[in-house]
Amino acid sequence: MQVPLEITFRGLQHSDAVESRIREKAAKLEQFCEKIISCRVAVEAEHHHQHQGNLYKVRIDLSVPQRQIVVSRDHHDKQSHEDLYVALRDAFSAATRQIEEYTRIQRGDIKNHKFSPDTA
């Protein structure tokens, strides 16, 4: 990465363990694409109702040449995102899929099907 990884915690205390996990997962993204310019990760705890634990949101903003990749993992499946590490896993899995797709497009592995008047 050309710009150092930025990690932001909102609504929860900074955690060295969580930061370490984020750094591991961000480093793995670079294995799929060496052209990552910057990566920003925001972890947010939404304070909750009495009957549930905290719900976590993770947002990842990646800059690559000619594209911005944004992954936002809200608490659509509330139980799975009561665990911060599950929310991180899901967000970074989605980011990995998008980086892999970006890389395939850059290499030309994905064909662009253009409209042809002959087939109309």
Q: Is 95 within 8 Å of 63 (Cβ atoms)?
A: no
* pLDDT on residue 69: 92
CATH 3.20.20.70 fits 6-108, yes or no: no
C-alpha 116/C-alpha 62 separation (Å) is 35
The whole-angstrom separation of Cα 46 and Cα 25 is: 23
Please report the pLDDT score of residue 16 as a whole number: 95
pLDDT at 33: 84
Confidence (pLDDT) at 104: 87
How far apart, in whole angstroms, are the C-alpha atoms of residue 95 and residue 36? 12
Task: Sort residue 53 into left (φ over 0), alpha (ψ -120 to 50) or beta.
Answer: beta
The identity of residue 29, as a single letter, is: L
How high is the pLDDT of residue 63? 94
- Which amino acid appears at position 19 of this protein? E
Label residue 4 left, alpha or beta by phi (over 0 means left) and psi (-120 to 50 means alpha): beta
Q: Can you list the residues of the chain whose pLDDT is less than 70?
A: 47-53, 73-80, 110-120
pLDDT computed for residue 120 by the predictor? 46
At residue 85, what is the residue type? Y
